[in-house]
Chain A
Amino acid sequence: MDLKLDHHSEDRLTIVEVEGEIDVYTAPRLRELLIDLVNKGNFHLLVNMEKVDFLDSTGLGVLVGGLKRVRAHDGSLELVCTQERILKIFRITGLTKVFGIYASVEEAKEAHGSDK
């Protein structure tokens, strides 16, 4: 399955919807979207990975790159993910300590609301 990307804003949070496979072939499209969003002043990103079928280290690199960019603007890049097969690669690489990972978009929004 190819990669489908969409995004919308809710309050100060930009929610990026990702569907399909994030690998060496498709990851550049996600990288371009994250760079574009940051360049347009969206510094609080929530990447919804609930419909991601596959994620490899190239995809992890893109997410880490996005996190670096938003942090340069005191922003945040967090994830929504409950799929064990996707979470496993975050655990193997130690990236669970780096990303905020939520069980749902609502949970992430509530956490952001309490930050205000």
Chain B
Amino acid sequence: MATVELTFSALPAHVRTARLVATAIARRTGVEESLLDEVRLAVGEACSRAVEAHRLHCPGEPIRIELRDDLGRFEVTVTDSAPSDELEQEQASLRFEDPLVQLPDTLMSGFGIAVIVGLADDVQVYPSQKGMRIRMSWPATANGLSAV
């Protein structure tokens, strides 16, 4: 199991860097080219959500990403330190029938997570008072190179 870890300050500019790193490691791990756009978007969504949450609750704390080559799967875990107990409520109220009523013109946590769920092959979201962990994974071929 090879792992790359990345921590970054809660600045929007760093989200692009995180996307680029995740896509590069996914390619190296053997994720199919056709899935790389999904990896890029899902990791970007998870990191954007974390940055917005940190800017509200704990701007000085870093956000952590782990990228792992795990038994034929490429696994990404994005961990933040912002309390996220309101997530269930946000997701429960999220209905896409009338997004004009619900969606403000800023990022909405539940909306980003809904996009991740639509993109990643396998997603687990662990909200807690100490922060949120989003784990997602995609299949990787045996021909991939080691992540590190």
Residues of A that sit less than 8 Å from B by CB: 21, 23-25, 31, 54, 56-58, 60-62, 64-68, 71, 85, 89, 92-95, 98
Contacts and interface: CB of A to CB of B under 8 A. Distances in A.
Contacts of B99: 64, 93-95, 98
Interface residues of B: mostly helix, strand, loop or mixed? helix
Contact of B104 (A25, A65, A67): A65
A23 B114 contact: no
Q: Which of B13, B19, B100 has the most CB of A within 10 A?
A: B100
Interface of B: 12-13, 15-16, 19, 37, 40-41, 44-45, 48, 51-52, 96-97, 99-100, 103-108, 111-112, 114-115, 118-119
A92 B37 CA distance: 14
B14 to A, nearest CB: 8
19 contacts: A24-B48, A25-B12, A25-B13, A25-B15, A31-B105, A54-B19, A56-B41, A56-B45, A56-B48, A57-B48, A57-B111, A58-B48, A61-B104, A71-B100, A92-B118, A93-B111, A93-B118, A94-B96, A95-B96
